[in-house]
């Protein structure tokens, strides 16, 4: 097929929106980043950009990881309200057990245990939501209390200390000129793209788009749905590792804010709440937009009341936006 060599912007833009639905989130990423840079006084100083990237992405990585997981669950037509609680459990386990750099074997084992817990918790969610067909909203909300309760049981008061040797790797490493956190995101996206372009990706979008049509066509709908919750659990456990390395300590409520942030991020990134539409790359953009907005608010030195209000408004607008948009279109 002969392709026109000239870059056709409007076609490219349409494709971005129709096929990947990330046009809007791309704009928001650019706009929020520009605003953030403008209100940063020292942006043009040499090395400042890299410093900003490093400090921002190490803060954002946990939320971005759970957002990716949430996006995949949403794509399959589900919802995971327990991912934040899984982060809390993982964080608490690490803070309690990874205390000395002299026991690399034990530390590695505990990291694997955290990942194992994430997979298991995700499977439990998937089993109830997909195999037994219970309402995902209710069931993952319920399991979130079980997981949070578990975290609180392990660590009733904030504490624990992860060795500096580990946290500094996370906080300050640069590989080939990029902060390690950015490389982690790129890797996760790469792995996702691998599955996205295999049968798994096709099935996922079909299941989210119309589960009964997918079933009649021969797609293993139940297994696909369970797998999305397992992936979300896995990414939540990775987020727990990142969060622990970021803060260096344990807090039984550490993931509480991440659940809603993950949904908002995914929706800002163009993922449809009703399933089957959007792209995982978009959800990363969504996470970045949320991070930028937080930074802007704090750079404006508003008092904390304002900060909470604006954060909440962004969430409401992001979630209500698609519905409002449709309503306006229908009225016309």
Binding site for another protein (CB under 8 A): 18, 197-199, 201-203, 205-206, 208-210, 212-220, 276-277
Based on C-alpha coordinates, what's the Rg of the chain? 20
Exposure b/e, 92-111, CB count within 10 A at least 16 = b: bbbbebbbeeeeeeebeebb
Minimum CB distance to another protein, residue 138 (Å):
18
Nearest-approach distance from CB 180 to another protein, in angstroms: 28
Shortest distance in whole angstroms from residue 119 CB to another protein: 24
CA distance to 91, 175, 269, 290, 321, per residue, from 283 (Å): 23, 24, 4, 11, 16
Closest CB to another protein among 131 and 145? 131
Strand spans (E) along the chain: 174-175, 178-179
Residue closer to another protein (CB basis): 47 or 218: 218
Encoded tokens for 272: 């449809």
Minimal distance, residue 316 CB to another protein, in Å: 26
Assign 3-state DSSP to the chain and report helix, strand, coil percentages, each to 5. 75, 0, 25
CB of 317 to another protein, least distance (A): 24
Sign of CA dihedral 50, 52, 53, 57: positive
* Closest listed residue to residue 160, CA positions, set 248, 270, 50, 61: 248
HEC readout, 16-64: HHHHCCCHHHHHHHHHHHHHHHHHCCCCCCCCHHHHHHHHHHHHHHHHH
The least CB distance from residue 328 to another protein, in Å, is: 18
> CB-wise, 173 or 272, nearer to another protein?
272
DSSP state of 175: E
**Comparison of 275 and 291: residue with beta carbon closer to another protein:** 275
Q: Which is nearer to another protein, 164 or 198 (CB)?
A: 198
In whole angstroms, give the CA distance from residue 161 to residue 100.
9
In the complex with another protein, which residue's Cβ is closer, 18 or 44?
18
State which residue, 219 or 246, has the beta carbon closest to another protein: 219
Q: How far is the CB of 205 from another protein (least distance, A)?
A: 6
Measure the CA–CA gap between 29 and 286, rounded to whole angstroms. 8
């Amino acid at each position: 097929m002969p392709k026109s060599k000239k870059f056709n912007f409007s076609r490219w833009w349409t494709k971005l929106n129709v096929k990947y639905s990330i046009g809007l989130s791309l704009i928001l990423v650019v706009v929020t980043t520009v605003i953030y840079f403008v209100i940063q006084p020292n942006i043009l100083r040499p090395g400042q950009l890299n410093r900003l990237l490093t400090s921002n992405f190490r803060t954002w990585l946990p939320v971005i990881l759970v957002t990716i997981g949430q996006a995949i669950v949403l794509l399959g037509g589900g919802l995971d309200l327990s991912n934040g609680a899984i982060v809390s459990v993982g964080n608490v386990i690490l803070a309690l057990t990874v205390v000395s750099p002299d026991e690399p074997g034990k530390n590695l084992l505990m990291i694997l245990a955290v990942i194992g817990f994430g997979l298991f918790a995700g499977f439990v969610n998937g089993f109830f939501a997909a195999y037994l067909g219970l309402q995902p909203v209710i069931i993952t909300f319920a399991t979130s209390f079980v997981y949070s309760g578990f975290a609180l049981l392990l660590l009733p008061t904030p504490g624990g200390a992860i060795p500096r040797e580990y946290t500094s790797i996370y906080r300050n490493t640069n590989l080939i000129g990029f902060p390690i956190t950015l490389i982690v995101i790129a890797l996760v996206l790469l792995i996702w793209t691998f599955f996205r372009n295999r049968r798994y990706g096709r099935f996922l979008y079909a299941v989210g788009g119309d589960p009964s049509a997918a079933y009649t066509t021969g797609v293993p709908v139940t297994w696909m749905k369970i797998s999305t919750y397992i992936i979300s659990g896995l990414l939540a456990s990775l987020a727990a590792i990142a969060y622990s390395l970021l803060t260096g300590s344990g807090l039984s409520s550490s993931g509480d804010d991440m659940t809603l942030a993950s949904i908002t991020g995914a929706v800002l990134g163009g993922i449809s709440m009703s399933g089957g539409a959007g792209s995982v790359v978009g959800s990363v953009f969504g996470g970045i937009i949320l991070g930028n907005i937080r930074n802007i608010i704090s750079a404006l030195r508003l008092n904390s009341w304002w900060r909470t209000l604006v954060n909440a408004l962004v969430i409401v607008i992001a979630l209500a936006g698609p519905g409002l948009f449709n309503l306006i279109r229908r009225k016309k």
